[in-house]
Amino acid sequence: MDTQDKWWQKAVVYQIYPRSFQDSNGDGVGDLAGIVSRLGYLAGLGVDALWVSPFYPSPMADFGYDVADYCNVDPLFGSLADFDALIARAHALGLKFILDFVPNHTSDQHPWFIESRSSRDNPKRDWYLWRDPASGDGPAETRLPNNWMSHFGGPAWTFDSDTGQFYMHSFLAQQPDLNWRNREVRAAIFSAMRFWLERGPGGRGVDGFRMDVLWLLIKDELFRDNPPNPGWQEDSSSFGRSLPLYTANRPETHQIVAEMRSLLDSYSDSAGERLMIGEIYLPIDELVQYYGSSVPVLRSDGRDLTNVAITSPRLNGAQLPFNFHLIQAPWKASAIGQLIRDYEAAMPPGAWPNWVLGNHDQTRLATRVGPELARTAAMLLLTLRGTPTLYYGDELGMTDGIIPQDEIQDPAEKNQPGIGMGRDPERTPMQWDNSASAGFTTGSPWLPIAHDFRLHTVETEDRDHASMLSLYRGLLALRREHTALLLGEIYDVTPAGDSEFPVLAYRRSDGAERIQLLLNLGEEPQTASCLAGRILLSTNASRAPVRVSGGVTLDPREGVIVLLD
Ligand code: NOJ
**Residue 190 burial by CB count (10 A; 0-12/13-18/19+): exposed, middle or buried?**
middle
- Four-residue CA torsion sign, 147, 149, 155, 158: negative
In this prediction, residue 200 carries a pLDDT of 80
Contact 91, 50 (CB under 8 A): no
- Residue 213 CB less than 6 A away from ligand 1: yes
C-alpha 96/C-alpha 342 separation (Å) is 30
> At residue 113, what is the residue type?
F
Question: For 514-533, what is each residue's pLDDT tens digit?
Answer: 999 999 999 999 999 999 99
- Residue 49 is given by DSSP the state E
Q: What is the pLDDT along the chain (565 residues), one digit of tens a residue?
A: 344 579 999 999 999 999 999 999 999 999 999 999 999 999 999 999 999 999 999 999 999 999 999 999 999 999 999 999 999 999 999 999 999 999 999 999 999 999 999 999 999 999 999 999 999 999 999 999 999 999 999 999 999 999 999 999 999 999 999 999 999 999 999 999 999 999 988 888 999 999 999 999 999 999 999 999 999 998 889 999 999 999 999 999 999 999 999 999 999 988 899 999 999 999 999 999 999 999 877 666 666 666 555 556 789 999 999 999 999 999 999 999 999 999 999 999 999 999 999 999 999 999 999 999 999 999 999 999 999 999 999 999 999 999 999 999 999 999 999 999 999 999 999 999 999 999 999 999 999 999 999 999 999 999 999 999 999 999 999 999 999 999 999 999 999 888 899 999 999 999 889 999 999 999 999 999 999 999 999 999 999 878 999 999 999 999 999 999 9
Cα of 65 vs centre of ligand 1, distance in Å, is: 6
Using one digit for the tens of pLDDT, what is the confidence trace for 90-126?
A: 999 999 999 999 999 999 999 999 999 999 999 999 9
Residue 212 annotated as catalytic: yes
286 is catalytic: no
Which of 212, 395, 410, 426 is labelled catalytic? 212
- Select which of 177, 279, 400, 413 is catalytic: 279
Taking the CA of residue 412 as reference, the ligand 1 atom at the shortest distance is: 7
Closest-CA residue, ligand 1 atom 2, reads 212
Instruction: Choose among 219, 348, 214, 358: nearest CA to 285.
Output: 348
User: Rounded distance, CA 495 to CA 513, Å?
Assistant: 23
SS3 for 368? helix
Report pLDDT for 308.
57
Is ligand 1 within 6 A of the CB of residue 171? yes
Residues with Cβ within 8 Å of 147's Cβ and at least 6 positions away in sequence, in order, are: 155, 225, 226, 242
- What is the predicted pLDDT for the residue at 2? 44
Please answer whether residues 12 and 50 qualify as being in contact, where contact means their C-beta atoms are separated by less than 8 angstroms.
no
Regarding the beta carbon of 65 and ligand 1, being less than 6 Å apart is answered yes
Question: From ligand 1's centre to the CA of 42, what distance in Å?
Answer: 24
Atom of ligand 1 nearest to the CA of 65: 11
CA distance 545 to 392: 29
Report yes or no: 384 and 340 within 8 Å, Cβ to Cβ.
yes
Residues 387/349, Cβ–Cβ less than 8 Å:
no
Is the Cβ–Cβ distance between 473 and 465 less than 8 Å? no
Confirm or reject: Cβ of 212 under 6 Å from ligand 1: yes
Residue closest by Cα to atom 8 of ligand 1: 65
Is residue 148 within 8 Å of 155, Cβ to Cβ?
yes
The reported pTM is 0.96
Measured at the CA of 141, the angle between CA 146 and CA 108, to 5 degrees, comes to: 85
Query: How many angstroms separate the CA atoms of 272 and 18, rounded?
Result: 26
Distance in angstroms (rounded) separating the CA atoms of residues 207 and 96: 6
Strand pairing category for 559-564 and 526-538: antiparallel
Does ligand 1 have an atom closer than 6 angstroms to the CB of 558? no
